[in-house]
Amino acid sequence: KPDHDKPIAFITGATSGIGMETAKLFAVHKINLVLCGRRKKELEKLKKQLSVHTKVCILDFDVRDKKAVFEAVNGLPDDFSEIDILINNAGNAHGLDSIEDGSLDDWETMLDINVKGLLYVSKAILPKMIARKAGHIINIGSTAGKEVYPKGNVYCASKHAVDAINQGMRIDLNQYGIRVGAVNPGLVDTEFSKVRFKGDQEKASKVYQGFQPLKPEDIADIIHFVVTRPYHVNIADLIVMPTAQANSTIVNRNS
């Protein structure tokens, strides 16, 4: 259980989409925030906006840069250094290509961010959670971590890795009373597809056409529900899809 007045949440990928909406909702609920991302201007804007509700610290670093990750976490000011909630959210897909056509750069980027970056951040934050025998880690997985879809190959592999890491963390951190769980969304309308298709907005928009996708606010709401359960309750693994989506490949686009 948090041993200070208000919990402190550390959110990676807070500059857009799910991370940003989670930051906004947490702020309204007076959760103190450490907000991370590479886009410093976005972080500064968010800090200004959310500081009216809660205390906000911003850290701009690339989760792929392990030195930067440890420097950022170890350099946190005292009043932000005891992290209660870690939201491992930073991540993206890069490309949607059949395995024989995939780009090595895209593959490396996805594995470096979605898997290794998540591990670096967790490794940097865990010692203080372990020392206090308290904490809550939420790993943002995906339906892509539960099933593989055509051309999803390496992105799906990275999210399957998140699924395995989520289970592994829960097993290994059980002895310290740390809560670990994953939230696995289906199609959420964020910058995700714009990044996947390298800025091609038209292609990105098509992913969410003909049905009502999830909004990042929907996921933020669920993450807030997860973190506000009594401490003896751990939501271990949660899958959420738009009503129009049945699985990774079946989406009712006439709904």
- For residue 248, the partner it binds in ligand NDP, ligand 8X3, none, with Cβ less than 5 to 8 A by kind, is ligand 8X3
Q: Is 144 in the site for ligand 8X3 (CB under 6 A)?
A: yes
Among 155, 176, 208, 231, the one annotated catalytic: 155
| Catalytic site includes residue 155 | yes
CA distance 251 to 245: 4
Cβ proximity to ligand 8X3, 7 vs 91, nearer residue:
91
- For residue 54, the partner it binds in ligand 8X3, ligand NDP, none, with Cβ less than 5 to 8 A by kind, is none
- Minimum separation from the CB atom of position 91 to ligand NDP (A): 2
Pick from 89, 139, 143, 153: which binds ligand 8X3 (CB under 6 A)?
143
CA distances from 92 to 45, 95, 107, 191, 229 (A): 22, 10, 11, 9, 28
Q: Is 114 in the site for ligand 8X3 (CB under 6 A)?
A: no
> Cα–chain-centroid distance for residue 71?
20
Give helix 40-50 / helix 17-28 axis angle, nearest 10°: 20
CA-closest candidate to residue 231, choices 135, 153, 149, 162: 135
Q: Which two tokens stand for residue 28?
A: 């309204």
DSSP 8-state symbol, 131:
H
Residue nearest to ligand NDP (CB): 17
Residue type, 189: D
Q: Residue numbers of the site for ligand 8X3 (CB under 6 A)?
A: 142-144, 152, 186-187, 192, 248
Residues with active-site annotation: 155
